[in-house]
Amino acid sequence: MTDQPKQVGGGRRMFEDFAPKLAALTDDVLFDDIWNRPELSARDRSLITVAVLTAGGHTEQLGFHLGRAVENGVTQEELIEAITHVTFYAGWPKGMSAMGVAKQLFSE
């Protein structure tokens, strides 16, 4: 699984001047280390991340990660199916909210 593009975070771009430690942890630990471990592909990590964000009701982060998932090779149909599947385990309101974010993103 080493033939995948390196995953890069945007923590420093977003928060370096305001929250430098959070920016560094985001870029250096979450993305540079965790996202680039060879045990799972970036595609699989994206599907897991979308599922967890949906289950937790974290729609404010979902738009970014849906876009990242597409960049990592997950199709729109697969993302819609993943959100639909998670809805039955995580709760209807969370799934409906997540699907709203997906619809807005994919309609643009």
Helices (H), the chain: 11-15, 20-24, 42-56, 59-71, 76-90, 92-107
AA letter at 60: E
Q: What is the pLDDT of residues 40-53, one digit of tens each?
A: 999 999 999 999 99
- The predicted model scores a pTM of 0.88
- Split at pLDDT 50, 70, 90, the class of 2 is low
Q: What is the pLDDT of residues 68-92, one digit of tens each?
A: 999 999 999 999 999 999 999 999 9
Count: domains in the chain:
2
Average pLDDT of the chain is 92
Residues 65 and 25 in one domain: no
Q: What CATH number is given to the structural domain containing 94?
A: 1.20.1290.10
Q: Give the count of beta carbons closer than 10 Å to the beta carbon of residue 60.
A: 9
Q: 23: domain range?
A: 8-39
